[in-house]
């Protein structure tokens, strides 16, 4: 069991930010703040341990953040199945039955270098991701974590937030004063409830069970080969099943749950056996129920209190977006809060959080709902498991439908890397046309608002490895007076600036203008062929200081 901070005296500085919820979202925010020297307190009512994660895909963008934090190799080493385990997704009638379709290298988990991104994705349980992030967060001098500690209430004014906490281990109340409070406390967010923020959209798209079980020999008991997910398409128990951890630990999720049926009423062992067609002594470790919904908070902020992750957006977990979108929320909000608290960010920077993230959430919610529309129960056809020509023809027809409808769930690079901050108040548009949205095809662009295009350099490093912790000016063929002017104006504005002058010809193709200004989160803030005479005004605009 992890030692809670309430069990030892704290040597941490008073927090500037109070974060409620120590999942990946809260941890990402705490890491962004801690790395920038901003003291924060992270509270979590539970111990973050267990065997029932829903998130298992850490996508390429989240892994790029982990690389920036120095954690990508740590998570790679912690992979229970090993990074060489193939991230295939197979559609079968049952594990014991015939195959229908397959998608190789789903979610881009295959190791090796890809020109489009700095880190491959990883199939790894959420609790492993949390453990790696938590150990690192606790090592940062400005970060304090308190487990078994819950939020009971708060008040805010123009000077800060006063929160009431309850130490559940010691049975005592605590008062904490902070400049800002962030609710990263999940779908049943206490912070959201206290703010009175309503979730709008569609609730109850489906009811689901998540069952974790141990099954020695199951991997060898079927003929389909290794995969991270097996979609079982049959009338009996349509479901998704797959390996999750060492010790023959698997997950199982029925995709058709009868109305009124409770998890406690199920014989999970029997259900797994019926679904797979394989009789083994399955050992059920845990089970939980959840409801798939498409919901978005009516607002993400009230003055000094913010919402992030599932606290403000909920969608079906088909496409692997949930945890990863929450981590991106934490990154976006983290560097902006740090900038404001350190004095080089202005009010518009905090206003930009919702302006930037909400359109991304809406796009991802739509993608997840489309993926949710075609599950195993929608793919079943009468006679699908029959022997003979008729059964084979049906399986070919269903396989073709699977290839046509499910590709966008497993080949999602256009969404993962292609989201943009077009209408952000702290981005300077250049009048160029926005690229078309595409769920699969990602075309790198240095257009303002886009993710900075990635490149591998001659020394084997990633271009991203050379970006600074603040803003980075990527300068191609710029003369020294231009660079000196940019440095001087950044210094006068108090904006941290790193100048990067890559010599590789390939970088020029990705960054066609002489100058490109990149934000701490690696998105493009501005680009041009000459540093503007009003460079200070540019810096004030992109840091939210402009009045």
**Closest by CA position to 376, among listed 263, 243, 215, 208:** 208
The pLDDT value recorded for residue 48 is: 65
Residue 40, strand partner residues = 17, 143
Contact assessment for residue 540 and residue 425, using Cβ atoms and an 8 Å cutoff: no
Is residue 48, in this structure, part of any structural domain at all?
A: no
Residue 425's domain spans which residues? 420-542
Contact assessment for residue 427 and residue 518, using Cβ atoms and an 8 Å cutoff: no
3-state secondary structure of 188: coil
Tokens coding 342:
């350190």
The pLDDT value recorded for residue 67 is: 98
Q: Mention every residue, 6+ apart, whose C-beta is less than 8 A from residue 389.
A: none
Tokens coding 389:
């020509």
Q: What are phi and psi of 353, to 5 degrees?
A: -55, -55
Contact assessment for residue 464 and residue 67, using Cβ atoms and an 8 Å cutoff: yes
Handedness of CA 328, 329, 330, 334 (dihedral sign): positive
Residue 513 belongs to domain with CATH number: 3.40.30.120
Q: Mention every residue, 6+ apart, whose C-beta is less than 8 A from residue 392.
A: none
**Closest by CA position to 320, among listed 4, 56, 537, 509:** 56
Is residue 488, in this structure, part of any structural domain at all?
A: yes
pTM of the model: 0.94
Using 50 as the pLDDT threshold, list the residues of the chain that sit under it: 1-11
| C-alpha span between 51 and 122 (Å, rounded) | 18
Rg (CA), the chain: 24
* Helix-then-strand count for the chain, H and E: 14, 23
The pLDDT value recorded for residue 16 is: 97
Q: Mention every residue, 6+ apart, whose C-beta is less than 8 A from residue 157.
A: none
Contact assessment for residue 364 and residue 439, using Cβ atoms and an 8 Å cutoff: no
Is residue 362, in this structure, part of any structural domain at all?
A: no
Q: Per residue in 236-286, pLDDT tens?
A: 999 999 999 999 999 999 988 766 667 777 788 999 999 999 999 999 998
The pLDDT value recorded for residue 1 is: 29
Is residue 379, in this structure, part of any structural domain at all?
A: no
Is residue 499, in this structure, part of any structural domain at all?
A: yes
Is residue 93, in this structure, part of any structural domain at all?
A: no
Is residue 460, in this structure, part of any structural domain at all?
A: yes
Tell me what percent of the chain is helix, strand and coil, each rounded to the nearest 5: 30, 25, 45
Is residue 207, in this structure, part of any structural domain at all?
A: no
Q: Mention every residue, 6+ apart, whose C-beta is less than 8 A from residue 418.
A: 435, 437, 438, 442, 443, 451
| C-alpha span between 474 and 457 (Å, rounded) | 14
DSSP annotation string for 375-404: -HHHH--TTTT--HHHHHHHHHHHHHHHHH
Q: What are phi and psi of 107, to 5 degrees?
A: 65, 5
Residue with the two structure tokens 């206490």: 190
Domain count, the chain: 1
């Amino acid at each position: 069991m992890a030692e809670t901070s309430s069990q030892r005296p704290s040597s941490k500085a008073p927090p500037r930010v109070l974060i409620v919820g120590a999942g990946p979202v809260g941890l990402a925010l705490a890491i962004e703040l801690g790395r920038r020297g901003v003291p924060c307190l992270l509270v979590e009512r539970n111990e973050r341990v267990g065997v029932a994660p829903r998130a298992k895909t850490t996508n390429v963008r989240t892994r790029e953040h982990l690389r920036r934090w120095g954690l990508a190799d740590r998570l790679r080493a912690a992979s229970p199945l090993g990074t060489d385990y193939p991230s295939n997704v197979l559609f079968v009638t049952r594990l014991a039955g015939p195959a229908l379709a397959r998608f190789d290298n789903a979610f881009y988990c295959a190791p090796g270098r890809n020109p489009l991104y700095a880190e491959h994705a990883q199939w790894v349980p959420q609790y492993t991701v949390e453990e790696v992030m938590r150990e690192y967060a606790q090592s940062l001098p400005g970060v304090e974590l308190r487990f078994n500690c819950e939020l009971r209430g708060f008040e805010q004014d123009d000077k800060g937030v006063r929160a009431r906490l309850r130490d559940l281990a010691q049975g005592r109340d605590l008062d904490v004063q902070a400049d800002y409070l962030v609710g990263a406390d999940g779908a049943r967010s206490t912070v959201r409830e206290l703010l009175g923020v309503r979730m709008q959209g569609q609730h109850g798209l489906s009811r689901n069970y998540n069952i974790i079980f141990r099954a020695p020999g199951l991997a060898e008991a079927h003929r389909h080969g290794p995969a991270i997910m097996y979609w079982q398409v049959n009338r009996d128990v349509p479901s998704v099943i797959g390996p999750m951890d060492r010790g023959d630990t698997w997950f199982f999720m029925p995709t058709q749950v009868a109305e009124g049926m409770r998890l406690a009423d199920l014989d999970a062992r029997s259900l797994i056996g019926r679904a797979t067609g394989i009789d083994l002594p399955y050992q059920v470790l845990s089970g939980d129920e959840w409801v798939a919904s498409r919901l978005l908070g009516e607002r993400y902020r009230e003055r000094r209190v913010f919402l992030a992750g599932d606290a403000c957006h909920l969608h079906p977990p088909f496409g692997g977006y949930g945890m990863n979108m929450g981590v991106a929320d934490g990154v976006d909000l983290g560097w902006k809060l740090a900038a404001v608290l350190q004095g080089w960010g202005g009010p518009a920077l905090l206003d930009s959080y919702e302006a930037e993230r909400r359109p991304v959430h809406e796009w991802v919610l739509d993608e997840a709902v489309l993926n949710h529309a075609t599950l195993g129960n929608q793919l079943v056809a009468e006679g699908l498991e029959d022997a003979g020509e008729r059964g084979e023809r049906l399986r070919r027809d269903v396989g073709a439908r699977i290839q046509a409808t499910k590709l966008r769930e497993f080949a999602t690079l256009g969404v993962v890397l292609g989201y943009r901050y077009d209408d952000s108040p702290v981005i300077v548009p250049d009048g160029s046309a926005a690229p078309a949205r595409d769920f699969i095809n990602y075309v790198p662009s240095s257009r303002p608002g886009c993710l900075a295009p990635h490149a591998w350099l001659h020394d084997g490093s990633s271009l991203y490895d050379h970006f600074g912790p603040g803003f980075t000016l990527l300068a191609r063929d710029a003369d020294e007076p231009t660079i000196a002017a940019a440095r001087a104006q950044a210094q006068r504005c108090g904006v941290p600036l790193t100048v990067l002058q890559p010599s590789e010809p390939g970088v020029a193709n990705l960054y066609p203008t002489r100058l490109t200004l990149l934000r701490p989160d690696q998105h493009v803030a501005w680009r041009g062929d000459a540093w503007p005479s009003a460079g200070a005004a540019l810096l004030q605009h992109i840091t939210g200081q402009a009045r």
